[in-house]
Amino acid sequence: MTQPQWETIYKIAQQWTKEAGEQIRTMMGDTYEIHTKANQHDLVTDVDRHTELFFKEKINEHFPDHRIMGEEGLGDEVKDLDGTVWIIDPIDGTVNFVHQQCYFAISIGIFHEGVGFIGIVYDVMADEMFMALKGHGAFLNNEELPKLPNVSMNESLLSFNAGWVLKDRRLENLVKESRGIRSYGAASLELAYVACGRIEAYISFNLAPWDMAGGYVLLNEVGGVMTNYEGNELSFLDKDTLLAANPSIYDDITKRIHG
Residues 6+ apart with CB under 8 A from 141: 127, 128, 129
208 makes contact with ligand 2AM (CB under 6 A): yes
Q: Binding segment for ligand 2AM among 6-14, 18-26, 28-36, 92-100 (CB under 6 A)?
A: 92-100
Q: Among ligand 2AM, Ca ion, none, what does residue 240 contact (CB within 5–8 Å per kind)? A: none
Q: Single out the residue of 14, 23, 173, 206 in contact with ligand 2AM (rule: CB under 6 A).
A: 206
Q: Residues 157, 160, 166, 170: what is their CA dihedral angle, to the nearest 10 degrees?
A: -50
> In the complex with Ca ion, which residue's Cβ is closer, 128 or 177?
128
Q: Judging by DSSP bridges, how do beta strands 180-182 and 157-159 pair with one another?
A: parallel
Q: Is residue 89 part of the contact set for ligand 2AM (CB under 6 A)?
A: yes
Q: Is residue 38 part of the contact set for ligand 2AM (CB under 6 A)?
A: yes
Q: What letter does residue 155 receive in the DSSP assignment?
A: G
**Contact with ligand 2AM (CB under 6 A) among 45, 156, 161, 220:** 161
Which residue type, as a one-letter code, is found at position 9? Answer: I
CA 2 centroid distance within chain: 27
DSSP type of residue 150: P
259 neighbors 169 (Cβ within 8 angstroms): no
**94 is a site residue for ligand 2AM (CB under 6 A):** yes
Do 168 and 47 meet the contact criterion of CB atoms below 8 Å apart?
Answer: no
Contact status: 102 vs ligand 2AM (CB under 6 A): no
- Among Ca ion, ligand 2AM, none, what does residue 99 contact (CB within 5–8 Å per kind)? none
In angstroms, what is the minimal distance from the CB of 259 to Ca ion?
34
According to DSSP, residue 154 is labeled G
Binding site for ligand 2AM (CB under 6 A): 38, 41-42, 71, 89, 92-94, 161, 185-187, 206-208, 211, 239
